[in-house]
Amino acid sequence: MTDNEAEIMEKGSFQIGQLYGRRFIIISLIYFIIGTTWMGPIGTILPGPSGVAGNVYDTAHWHVVFVGFLAFFILGSLYYTAPRLGGKDMYSKRLASIHFWGSNVLFPMAVVLFTWIAFAFENVLNSPTFSVSSMPSSLLLTYFTVLIIMFVGIGLQGVMAYNVFMTLRTLLPRQGEHAVTR
């Protein structure tokens, strides 16, 4: 943790939202730089195996730019603005930390794993006689790993949604109250 982050944690108001909002936005910019300056040119220069959506490098490039940059930037903005809308800091620092670190470990793993699947099993997947029963056991294990990553990713988004909902619950009318209309 930097000195500036430690100072934010000591200040009080909106500290968790500001800290994790900033972290998500910074990491989104890193993914943007990786996706546009490194992965984009590699995808256009090097020939790669053709997957369902085209060149594997192009698919990885788009995932890093759109999920890594755009989705993480939106998450950072959400963490930054939700406490201000709710009038209090984020519900849980622990949930924000789990979401941030889990997402930043899981997302690069998923991109690398999916790219590896396309390279390693190109001939198997593109075979005209391909069937689930003829899959090599390593491919089945890989697909099982992909399913685990997918469900953990969905769980991480659920953690974030719960944390934001609990932060914003003060905006909901209480039992017996009615929302003010103009």
55 strand-pairing partners: 50
Given a contact cutoff of 8 angstroms between Cβ atoms, the answer to whether 70 and 24 are in contact is no
pTM: 0.75
Answer yes or no: is 141 within a domain: yes
Structural domain of 104:
3-171
Answer yes or no: is 176 within a domain: no
The DSSP line for 77-144 is HHHHHHHHHHTS--S-HHHHHHHHHHHHHHHHHHHHHHHHHHHHTHHHHT-TT--GGG--HHHHHHHH
Answer yes or no: is 81 within a domain: yes
Q: Can you give the pLDDT at residue 174?
A: 67
**pLDDT tens for each residue of 68-102:** 999 999 999 999 999 888 888 889 999 999 999 99
pLDDT exceeds cutoff 70 at 162: yes
Q: Can you give the pLDDT at residue 20?
A: 93
Q: What's the total number of domains in the chain?
A: 1
Answer yes or no: is 18 within a domain: yes
What does the radius of gyration of the chain's CA atoms come to, in whole angstroms? Answer: 21
**pLDDT tens for each residue of 121-161:** 666 666 666 666 666 676 777 778 888 988 999 999 999 99
DSSP 8-state code for residue 35: I
**Rounded Cα distance, 108 and 114, in Å:** 10
**pLDDT tens for each residue of 23-51:** 999 999 999 998 888 877 776 676 655 54
The per-residue pLDDT of the chain, averaged, comes to 79
**Rounded Cα distance, 81 and 102, in Å:** 21
Answer yes or no: is 178 within a domain: no
